[in-house]
Amino acid sequence: MKTRVTELLNIEYPIIMGGMAWAGTAKLAAAVSEAGALGIIGSGSMTPDILREEIRKAKKLTSKPIGVNILLLSPYVDDLVKVAMEEGVSAITFGAGNPAKYIPELKEKGIKVIPVVAADSLAKLVERSGADAVIAEGMESGGHIGEVTTIVLVNKVARTVSIPVIAAGGIADGRGMAAAFALGAEGVQMGTRFVATEEAEVHEEFKRRIVKASIRDTVVTGAKLGHPARVLKTPFAKKIVELETKSFEEAEKLLLGSLRRAVVEGDVQGGSFMAGQSSGLINDIKPVKEVIKDIMEEFEKAINQLCEKRSEWWR
C-alpha cells in the first residue's frame, strides 16, 4: 500500500504508533517498526541520556525506520532533539505546541517532523513552519487531549492543510482506519491498541483493564487543572475528578508520577491508566504483528464493502 505517509516515512503500512510516555518503550517501538508500521519511542519525562539508550536499544532490535515523540513541555526538550538527531531517528512527532525552531535543522538532517495538533489553527501554523505532516488527534484519544472529536478535527484539518494528515483518537481497527481515510487522512496513529499487545512492557493490570473496558469506561481527569487527560475509570480517576474542583494543589500532587504508577506498578488506587475510548473496541492482547495484519485486512475489507454497496445505494 502506498500513501503520502508511507512514502514520507519509508514504511509498508500507513500506521504509526502514538508517542506514549512510559508505555512507548524501545521494545514496543521496535516491534511496531518490524511489523511494517512506524514505531515511536515516547520520550515523555526521559532525560537525554535515557533517550539515547532507548534509541540504541530499538536500533539493535530493528533496522527499519524508528521515530521518537518529544513533548515540547519537557525541561530537556533542546537536548532530547539533539540526541534524536545524533542517533539518526527517521521522524520526530512533537506533542504540545509548534516545534518551529527545530524544523530547519531537522530537515537538513533528513528527519521528518510531525507535530500533533488538536485544532486546525495549529495545523496551519505548523504547515507554514515547514512540518512534513501533521497528526490530528481527537478527544477520544488516550492521554492528554483537546476539545474536538476525531471525526470533526480530521475532516477540518484535511481541508485546511496540504501536507499529509494522520488521524489519531478512537482508531483501533480497520473500520476506524477506513473512516479516517474517508475524512481525508492518509495515515493513522494508534496508542491504546498498541498498549494491549504482547510486546507492550506495561503492567498486566493495564492490558487487562483495556480489554475489559466498554466504550464508556474512560473519564477525563485534569480538565479543571488545565491539562485534561483521558484515562480508564478507576478509583483513582474518580478521586481526581472530585478533588480537582475542590483543591488544585492536592489534585496536582496526587497526579504527579501517576502515569508511571499505572504503567509500571498497575496501581489502581494511585495510577492514571491513560487510554482512549477505543479501549471499548479492543477485546484481546495479541502480538503487534497480528494487530497490524488484522487492521490492514479489515481496512481493505471495509473499503471494498463500501465500493460494493455503492451500486446498491445508487440504483
Ligand X SMILES: Cc1cc2nc3c(=O)[nH]c(=O)nc-3n(C[C@H](O)[C@H](O)[C@H](O)COP(=O)(O)O)c2cc1C
Q: Which residues bind ligand X (CB under 6 A)?
A: 18-21, 23, 42, 44, 69, 71, 95, 116, 137, 140-143, 168-171, 189-193, 195, 274-276, 278
Q: Which helix (H) or strand (E) holds 125?
A: helix 120-129
For residue 71, the cross-strand partners are 95
CA-CA distance, 263 to 206, in Å (whole number)?
Answer: 7
Angle between helix axes 248-255 and 235-243 (nearest 10 degrees) is 150
78 Cα distance to chain centroid = 22
Closer CB to ligand X, 6 or 272, in the complex: 272
Residue appearing with cell numbers 479516517 = 180
In angstroms, give the least distance from the CB of 235 to ligand X: 18
In angstroms, give the least distance from the CB of 141 to ligand X: 3
Give the nearest residue (CB) to ligand X.
Answer: 191
In angstroms, give the least distance from the CB of 247 to ligand X: 25
Closer CB to ligand X, 3 or 149, in the complex: 149
CA-CA distance, 189 to 5, in Å (whole number)?
Answer: 11
Count the residues in the chain.
315
Closer CB to ligand X, 42 or 67, in the complex: 42
Q: What angle do CA 9, 22, 114 make, to 5 degrees?
A: 25
In angstroms, give the least distance from the CB of 168 to ligand X: 4
Burial group, residue 314, by CB count within 10 angstroms (0-12, 13-18, 19+): exposed
Closer CB to ligand X, 180 or 195, in the complex: 195
Closer CB to ligand X, 29 or 311, in the complex: 29
In angstroms, give the least distance from the CB of 301 to ligand X: 21
Closer CB to ligand X, 19 or 174, in the complex: 19
In angstroms, give the least distance from the CB of 309 to ligand X: 27
In angstroms, give the least distance from the CB of 150 to ligand X: 8
In angstroms, give the least distance from the CB of 170 to ligand X: 5
SS3 233: coil
CA-CA distance, 81 to 70, in Å (whole number)?
Answer: 8
Closer CB to ligand X, 17 or 243, in the complex: 17
Going by their DSSP bridges, the two strands 143-144 and 229-232 should be labelled as: antiparallel
In angstroms, give the least distance from the CB of 175 to ligand X: 14
Closer CB to ligand X, 15 or 254, in the complex: 15
Residue 36 · residue 21 · CB < 8 Å = no
Q: Write the CA distances from 251 to 233, 270, 284, integer angstroms.
A: 16, 12, 33
Closer CB to ligand X, 127 or 137, in the complex: 137
Residue appearing with cell numbers 537538513 = 108
For residue 286, the cross-strand partners are 197
End-to-end CA distance of the chain: 31
